[in-house]
Amino acid sequence: MRKTYLGIFIVASVVLYNCVMPSQNNNNEKITDATSSTLPKDTFHLLCQFWQLSDADNPTTNDVSFTDEDSVLLEPGIVFMTDSSVLENPIGEMRYGKFKVNGNTINVNFNDGRKAVYLITRLHKNELRLKRTENKKSTYLTYSPTNTYWADADKNPFSQKNYQWAIKPKKPESNEAIKTRVRDCIRFYAYYLKGYVDGGATKIDFRGMPCCFHWYSGGISIENEDKLDQKWADCFYSEEQAYKGRQMIEDIISKKYKWDTNETNWIKQTVPILQQMCDSL
């Protein structure tokens, strides 16, 4: 089966990290070495994004990047959201909770009943350093930013509601339920890309994400059945149901959509197309 393409004809330069978008200004140059109990007023805004773990001292198993027996990449990270929700390891062993910032301390109550205290030792637009203490074990964590921002937590792709589609169901689903899962997947990526635009990011990382799309300057394609990403397929009850979901996307991806021909930023141009794809399901 061939790849199906959804194309637009614009001029843009792309370097895939998986994808790179044009630079945007980010005037937040504040550096905070948190040696006192007072952090800048914009701490919450700067903190609320998707952070990818780059280094860990005395790590737990959940702080280690690895590829499992199905060749699925699991990578540690953390997402702080504007409604004070937190998601640890959005591309790994996920756990949700609620957080509260008090000075340079972040107290987290996870939904599974566990608690952790994160001491902010450095907060900068290019780096976040935390000392996490949980069950009397301390781990020193260094995160790199994705420069994402979702002002409305309801439109944060990693919210528990918006990321539910990526949780494997415990029983077979009806065609309607599969369609809902596919629609939520497409909406997730509309929100995901929008967060990179709103955060002023200069590169977009899809590494480790459960995805069946390929992203290009001027188009989107869907992966062949025989090369379907295992992590995306695992979001469905079975391989057969994953193929059904993929076919639903293939059926709509070649439809005609209303592109903003005046927009030169392909990421900004792609977001409404994904939203139109949701509406067409």
Q: What digits encode the pLDDT tens for the residues 119-177?
A: 999 999 999 999 999 999 999 999 999 999 999 999 999 999 999 999 999 999 999 99
Domain limits, the chain: 4-23+154-280, 31-145
Q: Are strands 213-216 and 219-222 parallel, antiparallel or unpaired?
A: antiparallel
Structure tokens at 248: 């639903």
- Is a pLDDT exceeding 80 seen at residue 17? no
Fold observed for domain 31-145: Lipocalin (2.40.128)
Q: What is the DSSP letter of 153?
A: G
Q: What is the DSSP letter of 75?
A: B
Compute the average pLDDT of residues 57-74: 75
Compute the average pLDDT of residues 65-73: 67
64 phi, psi to nearest 5 deg: -115, 130
The answer, as to whether pTM is greater than 0.95, is no
What is residue 23's predicted lDDT score, i.e. its pLDDT?
A: 33
